[in-house]
Structure 1
């Protein structure tokens, strides 16, 4: 597995070794020992999620506060998305900064987003299937959102038209008033 550092050191871009021939391809999409070595600590996943979204759908920016913060290992198995992680840890030197990466079924990249980060993605292809592992269970009472187009964060989303967002995401607060990790 190739590990690429991002401009926020705790967020990692992972690229599996892919074996291809005339029959197709094979790759190991997850290996606990290799993953733990890549992120520098043991991580336990408890839930896998799978979403399918149409072009120009923007999901996020979502996170869960303690006692149920979620780390996520995300990947795309059909189509392409622009994936974003925002550091919301108050004590972090990178608090308020974001990183983005193009994830697709073709490039097979995965992004590790540890607890303490807001997460969102924008679908760039006609349709995308997005799969992710979580380090804690979904806890609606701990869920928080930040506006996807927050001026303080200034995320450079590759949006051509107004994105398709949920009612909940449309009502999300600005970054400066959203609750953050202590």
Structure 2
């Protein structure tokens, strides 16, 4: 398993070593011991969730307030998606910047997303399923939503048509509004 740093501090792209044979393939989707070596701290899952999306569905940008905070380890278990993370941590050297990657079921790649980093994706095909392994359980009222089309962020969704979105995501504030409202998390370099 290769664990490579992304352009966002504390976020990693995890690429498994696949063992193919005539039956198909096998790989380890997550190794807590290998993540811990890179992170310097344990990643302890507290909740696993899935979402299934039609082609051209856009979900995000989402993070969780600190506290409680929430680390996410996301994998595409069916289909493919264009995944974008955005550093929403005030004081981070990459505040407001993003990292883009493609996650698909055939590659087995996963993305480790630290607390305070926003996450969103667009489904590239029908019946795309993403798995979220999270460090905390869902707590109502702690989610932070950011407009995925905020011109200040200029996220490269590469859409060719109007996406399917929830009313909540369509109404999400831009980065400047969230910053002014005081809802964004702070960067804590000693934990990154």
Q: TM-score range by the shorter chain?
A: over 0.9
1:44-96: per-residue Cα shift (whole Å, max 9, x none)? 11000111100000000111102111110000011000111111111211111
Deviates more, 1:46-55 or 1:119-128: 119-128
Residues 1-182 of structure 1 aligned to structure 2 (within 5 Å): 1-178=1-178, 179-182=183-186
Mapped to 2, the partners of 1:92 and 1:121 lie a distance apart of: 22
List structure 1 runs of 4+ shifted beyond 3 angstroms: none
SS at match of 1:138: coil
CA RMSD, aligned part only? 1.1
SS at match of 2:175: coil
Mapped to 2, the partners of 1:101 and 1:112 lie a distance apart of: 12
SS at match of 1:36: helix
SS at match of 2:130: strand
* 1:38 Cα deviation after fit: 3.1
Mapped to 1, the partners of 2:135 and 2:176 lie a distance apart of: 26
* 1:5 Cα deviation after fit: 2.0
Question: Is the contact made by 2:82 and 2:103 (CA closer than 8 Å) also made in structure 1?
Answer: yes
Mapped to 1, the partners of 2:3 and 2:73 lie a distance apart of: 13
Task: Give the count of matched residue pairs.
Answer: 182
Question: Is the contact made by 1:65 and 1:180 (CA closer than 8 Å) also made in structure 2?
Answer: yes
